[in-house]
Amino acid sequence: MKSTLKMILAVIGIIALSAVSKHIAALQLVEQTLAANRNILLAFIVPVVALGLILFMGGLMLMLYEKGKPMSHSEVEEQVRITQNLGIAPGVQHIEYLGREWVDNSTKNWP
């Protein structure tokens, strides 16, 4: 409910700003300046957004690698059992079979 209300308020705010900007000379000047330099701004914004995405994803991966810990086989089986009971993971049986087959094959040569 709160997110819907926030979205409605944001839309109302954008509409109000759009209506007010037609009557304020300073906002019209800013809009004209941005429109005139659109290609330059676009050439700047696209790489900045791409760099931000790369840094965000890199930070996320770094956090997972530094603070995360690998799950044991029993923890993986418990997680699969929970998702099967909830019915939220279609096809888990196939993934579980492949995982069990991989574990069985990788442990055959252990001393």
> What are 28-56's pLDDT values in tens digits?
888 888 889 888 988 999 999 999 999 99
- The CA distance from 91 to 83, in Å, is 11
The secondary structure of residue 37, as a DSSP letter, is T
Sorted by where each begins, the domain ranges of the chain are 1-36, 38-68, 71-105
pTM: 0.41
Q: What is the mean pLDDT of residues 8-19?
A: 88
Q: What is the pLDDT of residue 101?
A: 55
pLDDT on residue 45? 92
pLDDT in tens, 72-109: 888 888 888 887 776 665 555 555 555 555 555 555 55
Task: Give the C-alpha separation, 73 to 1, whole Å.
Answer: 41
Tokens of 70: 């690998």
